[in-house]
Copies of this chain bind each other. A is one copy, B any other.
Amino acid sequence: MMMADIMKCSLCKTNPKIYYQRHSGLNFCKECFIKYILKRARKTIGRKNITKDMTIIVGLSGGKDSLVMAHVLKELYKPIPNTRIIGVMVDEGIEGYRKEGITHAIEFCEEYNMEYKIATFKETVGYNLDEIVKIAKEKNVNLNPCTFCGVIRRKILNKVSLNENADYLAIGHNLDDIAQAVMMNYIKGDINKLAILGKDAGSSLFVKRMKPLQDIPEHEVLLFADLIGLNYHKDPCPYSSISYRAEVSDIVENLEKKHPGTSYSIVSGFKKLIEHIPVEKNMSICKYCGEAGSSEICKSCALLENLGIRV
């Protein structure tokens, strides 16, 4: 009786199941689940991109998503000759939060024998995020910390990628992250952001992006991280709770609980929609920093100028 209760893996039919995937109805054992995630990511990246002489910059926060992504990339490119996978940690300067994430990322890179770089807000734009948020508050500029952070972080990651002549910048967004971002821009009615979310800018000024985990739901990324024994940073960013995104994240999470597959349907509908939407390609060089932007002043310089702290 007790033995019969142990469910077997639907794939290998041998090992005990450790995970039941609701939408497919499949049971997975540890080994088959790990293989499945690698296969899923390989499909997302595309066979033609897993080829020799590639340079990939990997944004590493030290959290589960970025470290799982880096692990997956290391595995998938292991048999490929002459591939460079370089981790980049961006230190925004968030007191009591960022240092621990970077520590985890460094430990990961050392364990995986992965080249890495650390870039800071301070050395790039002259101020760290805590200082920028404080100044914005003092000047009564009502902008979410996540907006500053996202704009500057993207600028830094793009800059490092161009400096390294990278083929791709890999970002650890999972399916839930993408569903949230899509919903947020649906609600805001921001179709330019939707277009950028779904497609590359198509300009040599912006390195192409790769999101190996984009088809994998967050809880599967988490399970994978724990199964392979990753030591990742678990704390949430202290600024995240006050973001609009957190509100939308709650909405999507609640819908997903009541109607499993909601994140997937949001993203798959979005992908179909976005095929028809043209990306605005008026890229230019920022007259202040000389880097890529969508108008004559890049978003990062515009935000800092608005605060009177553009260096």
Q: A: which residues have CB within 8 A of B?
A: 182-183, 185-191, 194, 244, 247, 251, 255, 258-259, 262, 265-270, 272-273, 276-278
Contacts and interface: CB of A to CB of B under 8 A. Distances in A.
B268 A189 contact: yes
Interface secondary structure of A, over-half rule: helix
B187 A262 contact: yes
A158 B268 CA distance: 31
Number of copies of chain A assembled together: 2
Contact of A186 (B183, B191, B259, B276): B183
A187 B269 CA distance: 8
Contacts of A259: 244
Contact of A189 (B187, B251, B269): B269
Given A186-B266, A251-B255, 7 more contacts: A186-B269, A188-B269, A189-B272, A190-B269, A191-B273, A244-B259, A251-B251
Contacts of A272: 189, 191
Contact of A273 (B255, B265, B267, B273): B273
A273 B277 contact: yes
Scoring A244, A267, A272 by chain B CB atoms within 10 A of each residue's CB, the highest score goes to A272
Contact of A265 (B188, B266, B277): B188
